[in-house]
Amino acid sequence: MRGSTLKPGLDGLLQLIDRDFPLPARHKAALPDGIAELSRLLTSERSLREGGYMSRPGLRAAYLRYFLPWNVFKLTALFSQMEAEGAIFLNGGIAAENSLVIADLGSGPLTLPLALWSAFPLMRKKPASIYCVDKNARALEDGQKLFNAFANGVYTKSVNSAAGAQPHWNIKTIKADAAQPKLRQKAALVTAFNLYNEMIAGIPQGDTEALRTFARKTARTLANCADKNGSIFVGEPGTPACGQFLSLLRGAFLELGWQPICPCPHNGICPMPGGRKGAKWCHFVFDNRLIDAAPAALRALSKNAGLTKTRLTMSFVSFCRAENTAVKAAHNRLKMRVLSAPVRLPDGNTGVYACSSLGLALIRGKHPDTAPEFGALVERAVPSRHEYDKKTGALLV
Ligand SMILES: C[S@@+](CC[C@H](N)C(=O)[O-])C[C@H]1O[C@@H](n2cnc3c(N)ncnc32)[C@H](O)[C@@H]1O
């Protein structure tokens, strides 16, 4: 994912968190340890999450100060890049003249609404109802307070350039299970970020059928939340388990008559479904320049917690109803989504791996400098003869 479009300014948000959620001195000193503990809970020690880390004030503070800003940062970068390219959501959601309804499931402290506000300045002017659903009411309360302060610009303009616009976004928090979100309205945009990895944690690893059943149920729940022109965005950590889940979710949406908008360049079989040891799974690695562009205070916090960032990754898919999408590529053109950094090939050329309707593709070129970037959508003529890379089986383009 490119560095050039990655300029989400988060300093103001960090200052707001410090101002509106002040930490007593002794808690401040314990913050790096809290962050490290929460990081273990969120990754390796999955079973410990059962107790609900958002209910523990120290861990909620760690989430707010560390995980929330990094997530807003990543999402803002992703939304800015993908929207510039064409669409991550259907235009109807973002560009519609009338008011906008958004539903965010597993919203926590409203990370995703904050990222939408940050990434889409034009949306800020539109009246919107944002339904934020989470099983933890305290996280939602924190998020509502933070969002209103961020969007209202109640701090000085120098704190954040997002200030100044009069917000029309009405935040409605709902304490509910994401499997039964209890929305009062259908939404033009339904989102869930970093939620389903927690909901699938109880499914035994390797039980693909159980995961598929959960994916089907989830697709129905999400589709039910969306209005007839609605789009859905689901993002998760870039782990093999989440990549597999999102590939199954994509299959479940196709069964329902929906189709992927982004990043998938086609509706065919997912060539990166993960699920087996060593199998490729769909995920994106952000350009490392994004890490350098993060606020210094956030990078320092990472370092102090022993979690210096070296890679930012994410798996995601967005969907809409099939009848709402524009025509895909002409039959003699092949659309591909680049899914790797350039690699040196044995013949001295450079290649990048990409997802296509013809399966995994290897796009070859002479120079690394001219190779398409990670995350880019590229289109080439369909090769007249199908030749495959001996090592990976990828179609040579
Ligand atoms: C890792 S946090 C993500 C928060 C926010 N979306 C973000 O990306 O920063 C996961 C959130 O999902 C919530 N959650 C987990 N399982 C849930 C469920 N079954 N129903 C509703 N919320 C749930 C947790 O309470 C927590 O706030």
pLDDT tens by residue, 160-215 = 444 444 558 899 999 999 999 989 999 999 999 999 999 998 899 899 999 999 99
Residue nearest to atom 3 of ligand 1 (CA): 194
Q: 17 in the Ramachandran plot: left (φ > 0), alpha (ψ -120 to 50) or beta? A: alpha
Ligand 1 near 114 CB (within 6 A) = no
Q: What is the pLDDT of residues 258-296, one digit of tens each?
A: 999 889 999 999 999 999 888 889 999 888 888 888 999
Residue 47 CA to ligand 1 centre (angstroms): 15
Residue 116, number of CB atoms within 10 A of its CB:
27
Identify which of 275, 279, 308, 306 has the alpha carbon closest to the alpha carbon of residue 291: 308
Ligand 1 near 174 CB (within 6 A) = no
Ligand 1 near 112 CB (within 6 A) = yes
Q: 163 in the Ramachandran plot: left (φ > 0), alpha (ψ -120 to 50) or beta? A: beta
Query: DSSP per residue over 66-133, as a string?
Result: IIHHHHHHHHHHHHHHHHHHS-SS-HHHHH-SS-EEEEEET-TTTHHHHHHHHH-GGGGGS-EEEEEE
Residue 143 CA to ligand 1 centre (angstroms): 12
In our burial notation (b when 16+ CB lie closer than 10 A, e otherwise), range 318-354 reads: bbbbeebbeeebeeeebbbbbbeebeeeeeebbbbbb
Contact 332, 381 (CB under 8 A): yes
Two tokens, residue 151: 């969007």
The CA-based dihedral angle spanning residues 295, 237, 109, 303, taken in that order and rounded to the nearest 10 degrees? -40
Ligand 1 near 141 CB (within 6 A) = no
Residue 335 CA to ligand 1 centre (angstroms): 34
Q: What is the pLDDT of residue 152?
A: 76
Q: Which atom of ligand 1 is nearest to the CA of 107?
A: 6
Two tokens, residue 320: 């809409």
Residue nearest to atom 4 of ligand 1 (CA): 108
The SS3 of residue 265 is: coil
Per residue of the chain (397 residues), what is the pLDDT tens digit?
A: 554 443 345 888 998 999 999 998 888 889 999 999 999 888 865 655 555 889 888 899 999 999 999 999 999 988 887 766 556 676 544 555 567 899 999 999 999 999 998 888 878 878 899 999 999 999 999 999 999 998 876 433 433 444 444 558 899 999 999 999 989 999 999 999 999 999 998 899 899 999 999 999 999 999 999 998 889 999 999 999 999 999 999 999 999 999 998 899 999 999 999 998 888 899 998 888 888 889 998 999 999 999 998 889 999 999 998 877 765 556 788 999 998 888 899 889 999 999 999 999 999 998 888 899 888 889 999 998 999 998 888 999 9
Ligand 1 near 108 CB (within 6 A) = yes
Ligand 1 near 54 CB (within 6 A) = yes
Ligand 1 near 194 CB (within 6 A) = yes
> What gap in Å lies between CA 322 and CA 258, rounded to an integer?
5
Ligand 1 near 80 CB (within 6 A) = no
> What gap in Å lies between CA 219 and CA 207, rounded to an integer?
18
Q: What is the pLDDT of residue 332?
A: 83
Ligand 1 near 107 CB (within 6 A) = yes
Q: What is the pLDDT of residue 96?
A: 55
Q: State the DSSP code for 49.
A: G
Identify which of 280, 281, 300 has the alpha carbon closest to the alpha carbon of residue 291: 300
Q: What is the pLDDT of residue 337?
A: 92
Q: Quick one: CA dihedral 114, 116, 119, 125, positive or negative? A: negative
pTM comes to: 0.91
Ligand 1 near 233 CB (within 6 A) = no
Place of tokens 């009246």: 127
Place of tokens 């800020």: 124
Q: What is the pLDDT of residue 74?
A: 93
Q: Quick one: CA dihedral 211, 254, 78, 121, positive or negative? A: negative
Which among 195, 196, 217, 234 is the best mutation to test ligand 1's pocket, defined by most ligand atoms within 8 Å of the CB?
195
Q: Which atom of ligand 1 is nearest to the CA of 75?
A: 8
The SS3 of residue 388 is: strand
> What gap in Å lies between CA 313 and CA 285, rounded to an integer?
4
Residue nearest to atom 1 of ligand 1 (CA): 194
Q: Which atom of ligand 1 is nearest to the CA of 139?
A: 27
Two tokens, residue 241: 């388990």
Two tokens, residue 87: 């669409």
Residue 154, number of CB atoms within 10 A of its CB:
13
Residue 110 CA to ligand 1 centre (angstroms): 10
